[in-house]
Amino acid sequence: MILGDSIAVGIGHYRPECITEAEVGITSKNYILEYGNGLRQAQTVIISLGSNDHKDIDTEEGVLKLRRSIDADKVIWILPSAKIKPHQRAIILKIAEHNGDLVITIPLGSLSDDGIHPTGVGYRSLAERTKD
């Protein structure tokens, strides 16, 4: 299962075997409002959130609610860009560490010109790195 923002949408294109609940441009808070926080069960859950959050958006509240709604053998977080979203990245790292989740970063050489989204090669690489 793949959850989150436009980066999750992109990974979903390369992981068609996964259920994808993602929306381009969505914030962490709006993700919970729109997709709810009902129980999500899957062998592996991949999450990308925080890239659309601004300082006034409560990233921590949204991702905590989402993480509490997941029952999975493995949870993998895709970290927002360190260059653009250091605050959101720190929150996600803290939550992932607390839960024993895996964390994947987007290598700098795989970022598009906006500094947030992966390139096509970057999306393929993330999709491969999230496979069991």
27: domain CATH number? 3.40.50.1110
| Res. 58 pLDDT band, cuts 50 70 90 | confident
Query: What would the pLDDT profile of 72-113 be if each residue is shown by its tens digit?
Result: 999 999 998 877 788 899 999 999 999 999 999 987 788 898
Cα separation, 12 vs 20, whole angstroms: 6
- Choose among 69, 76, 89, 81: nearest CA to 106: 81
Mean per-residue pLDDT, 7-34: 95
**Model confidence, pTM:** 0.93
Number of domains present in the structure of the chain: 1
Q: Helix, strand or coil for residue 34? A: helix
Answer for the pair 15, 4: CB distance below 8 angstroms, yes or no: no
Using the predicted structure, report yes or no on whether residue 57 has a pLDDT greater than 80: no
